[in-house]
Amino acid sequence: MVPDMRKRIVYAVIIMGFSGLVAQIVLLRELMIAFLGNELSIGVILANWLILESAGAFLVGRKISQARKKLFWFILVTILFSLFFVAAIHVARVFKDFLPLVPGEGLGIVVMFYVSFLILLPVSLLHGALFTSGCTLYAVYSSPGNSKLTENTSDAVSIARVYIFETLGTIAGGILLTYLLIPYFHSFKIACVLALLNTGICALLMEPFWRPGLPLLKRSASFATFGLLALIVFIIVSPVADRMNLSSIQQQWGNQNLVHYRNSHYGNLVVVEREKEYTFFADGVPVITSPNPDIVFTEEFVHFAMLAHPVPQNILILSGGAGGVINEALKYDIKRIDYAEVDPLLPKIIKEFSTPLTEKELKDERVHVQDVDGRFYLKRTPHAYDVIFSGFTDPSTLQTNRFFTREFYSLANNKLAPGGMLVLAIPGSLTYISPELADLNAVVYNTLQTVFPYIRIIPGDGINFYIATRSQEIWEAGYDVLIERLHQRKLDLHLITPGYLEYRMSPRWLAWFYEQMEGSSEKVNSDFRPLGVFYSLVYWNEKFSPAFNNVFKRSENLDVYRVMAVILVFSALFSLFAMRTKKPLQPALTLCIFSTGFAGMLFDLVLIFAFQVLYGYIFYWLGLLVTAFMAGVMVGGIRMTTYLRKKATAMTALIRLEIILLVFALLLPFVFLHAGSLLAYTWFDYALRMVFLLLSFFSGILVGAEFPLANNEYLRISPDLSGTAGLLYSADLMGGWLGGMVGAVVLLPVLGLFQTVLVLVVLKTCSLSLLVFSSKKQPFAARP
């Protein structure tokens, strides 16, 4: 029975890995939608997942490993994990009902943190417990006596094998989730499929409780498992799962008349209908309303710029074109309008729920809808434009920040015809500009100044308009010129009149605006240092999390030298502590794994960050990048497990691995240095996506290879299998938690990609130094 049970434990661990990845990505996608598509929340969510898994592995998992009925508790935790996953999806959609929020209201970082923490708590905690208890069960059913653990060198191999089996399941989960589950199943049905797999393996593990003659309680537990299995099958094949999904979505949207709900490669798209008016939402944010758009915004956005241009004929609209903006632009003698959204699926859905306004816009022969991401289209188009409208009004996410960076402005500048202009909008006010709002406007203005010699600002009550150009004539055109052109072109407008133009373009508003901007930020926004996202977060945090915002805003003054100084001081104090202990190698190995967990999370975030900057659809590729990383973890784990069978000590290999990791970190940012400009070539586009997967895979190899080596060295000092597995696994996850929280919220937005990697290099150098010195101070013989 032992070999057969060992195989079942292996299957259970593989399913555990599969379930963990699927649950993580599904809940991450659901929470990203709830957090209005903010990609920096990925770091917060992953950090909370890791810290809770760490707590589960170290606290709950160790308790199960020490319990008498280890198998029973493993089965119970597996089933509870599956049930809590279903509940977590529902809570992720409806939690705003319990907060004082209105639809579309943003969430501060603190709210994102504690909401994701509470929602993930039962799922992550239980999944973490399964790893430690899985290590113990595998060792129990692999040992000759089948009753107690044996102290031999196979302990490290047992942990490493469980780590590999779990990773194998994770890889399968990532591939199947991306190409099968997400395209064909909604979140609740995915959760039910997961529950079916976990309950099925639990039923197989309970075979010893099937036999006649056992106490009724044990047999009742197996009967209950089979009953649960039958119930899950019924929920999947019947309409119950679909009804659960629809009910939670309706509750999520306040029981509005939801007529369309779909997850695309770029995010979540929703259409709400009210009295024959459609509002289109992208990641919870309203982007288009038809047939009654915001007349004030659409007329000001279009006509301030079009009237400033002597002969606007070729127009490009990037986002927000349908439902008003295109209609206003068509009132001119236009030759061509190209229209692209950040999500190419949105124009198709607009056509599906057309109104007389959108039908008139999109069926006009002068309008050409481009089914590609707007920035990607701008790279490849051969056309030159008189006016480029960027319809994004806030760089609040990495996806939208791509249209507010120095690189984007340079790209737009190269696509403008002589006398052309770039038009964009940013939150503003005509009564009071707070320091946070001033910094947000300043970083956009400063960035525009690096590319365009002339920038015209039209302050507004709610929205400020920026017109950037190389033409001095356009920059100098006052309201008298615009009024003259308004009469000449005989435009049929509702809001824009000669008096309105004179009022809105009065020099006193501009003077007042510059006065309010005094003392604001002098920094520049770029692709790989997205300060626009940071200042947007500061601005919205001031509204929704003012208590935390003072602390958050101080991180603006953070520089790489201060961060490195903090790391060096911490490392020095930790090293003093380690050298004073009897076994300094133990804390050195713990710090090594902790820093590798930190590095692994930062590698993930850097690749996610870079992919979103360059492509814009990380929502779709997130599972693939994580899968590639975990595939690397498995390969690294297998390679080092094989190595441990031949070598008694692994210290030399561990030190070499740390050096390779340092070199990899130093070289990583240079891969993306000129990638943006080369994406105009189709061959490079495909090659770069493969490079992302390879980099994720190789970083996984480095992280996965360290775990079994460190386990081996730790077990030579302290032969406690469950304690070592729980401690180092927890150190790994806690390092990942710190990397997720600090990396996503502070390091990457404020320091940028290159300086963030430099911080990582300093941390790993410190951990490597301590490892080398402690290994020389503590010589020991290999355990028998």
pLDDT digits (tens, 9 = 90+) for 388-404: 999 999 998 899 999 99
Strand, helix or coil at 259?
A: strand
Kindly state the average pLDDT of the residues 414-441.
94
Residue pair 44/740 in contact by the 8 Å Cβ criterion: yes
Percent of the chain with pLDDT over 70: 92
Greatest mean pLDDT among 300-304, 505-509, 550-554: 300-304
- In this predicted structure, what is the pLDDT of residue 208? 67
Residue pair 676/614 in contact by the 8 Å Cβ criterion: yes
How long is the chain? 784
Please name the residue that has the structure tokens 């009967």. 223
Q: What is the pLDDT of residues 175-224, one digit of tens each?
A: 999 888 988 899 999 999 999 999 999 988 887 666 666 565 566 777 78
Distance CA(303)–CA(296), nearest Å, equals 11
Residue pair 702/661 in contact by the 8 Å Cβ criterion: yes
Kindly state the average pLDDT of the residues 131-152.
66
Q: What is the pLDDT of residues 591-626, one digit of tens each?
A: 999 999 999 999 999 999 999 998 888 888 888 898
783 band by pLDDT with thresholds 50, 70 and 90: very low
- In this predicted structure, what is the pLDDT of residue 330? 95
Give start and end residues of each alpha helix (H) in 615-650.
618-646
pLDDT at 143 over 70: no
Q: Which of 139-143, 407-411, 441-445, 566-570 is the least confident region?
A: 139-143
Please name the residue that has the structure tokens 């779909």. 262
pTM above 0.95, yes or no: no
- Please state the separation of Cα 63 from the chain's center in Å: 33
* Comparison of pLDDT for 164 and 230, the residue scoring more: 230
Distance CA(204)–CA(192), nearest Å, equals 18
* Comparison of pLDDT for 38 and 766, the residue scoring more: 766
Which one, of 585, 581, 704, 705, lies nearest residue 643 by Cα?
705
Residue pair 470/452 in contact by the 8 Å Cβ criterion: yes
| Single-letter amino acid, residue 523 | K
Sheet architecture: strand order including 285-290: 258-263, 268-274, 277-282, 285-290
Pairing type for strands 367-370 and 385-390 reads unpaired
Across all residues in the chain, what is the average pLDDT?
Answer: 87
Distance CA(563)–CA(742), nearest Å, equals 11
pLDDT at 680 over 90: no
pLDDT at 506 over 60: yes
Sheet architecture: strand order including 454-458: 367-370, 336-340, 314-318, 385-390, 416-427, 463-469, 454-458
Signed CA dihedral, 767, 770, 776, 778: sign only: negative
Which one, of 729, 568, 717, 555, lies nearest residue 637 by Cα?
729
- In this predicted structure, what is the pLDDT of residue 214? 58
Instruction: Read off the DSSP letter of residue 59.
Output: I
Q: What is the pLDDT of residues 515-543, one digit of tens each?
A: 999 988 899 999 999 999 999 988 887 77
Cα 593 to Cα 565, 711, 767: the distances in Å are 21, 10, 9
Structure tokens at 747: 């390091």
pLDDT at 737 over 80: yes
Task: Count Cβ atoms within 10 A of the Cβ of residue 204 and give its class: 0-12 exposed, 13-18 middle, 19 or more buried.
Answer: middle
Distance CA(763)–CA(592), nearest Å, equals 10
pLDDT at 751 over 80: yes
- In this predicted structure, what is the pLDDT of residue 311? 94
Give start and end residues of each alpha helix (H) in 177-215.
182-184, 187-205
- Go through 700-735 and write b for each residue having 16 or more CB atoms within 10 A of its CB, e for each that does not: bbbbbbbbbbbbbbbbbbeebbbbbbbbbbbbbbbb
Q: What is the pLDDT of residues 357-381, one digit of tens each?
A: 999 999 999 999 998 888 889 988 9
- In this predicted structure, what is the pLDDT of residue 725? 57
Task: Count Cβ atoms within 10 A of the Cβ of residue 432 and give its class: 0-12 exposed, 13-18 middle, 19 or more buried.
Answer: exposed
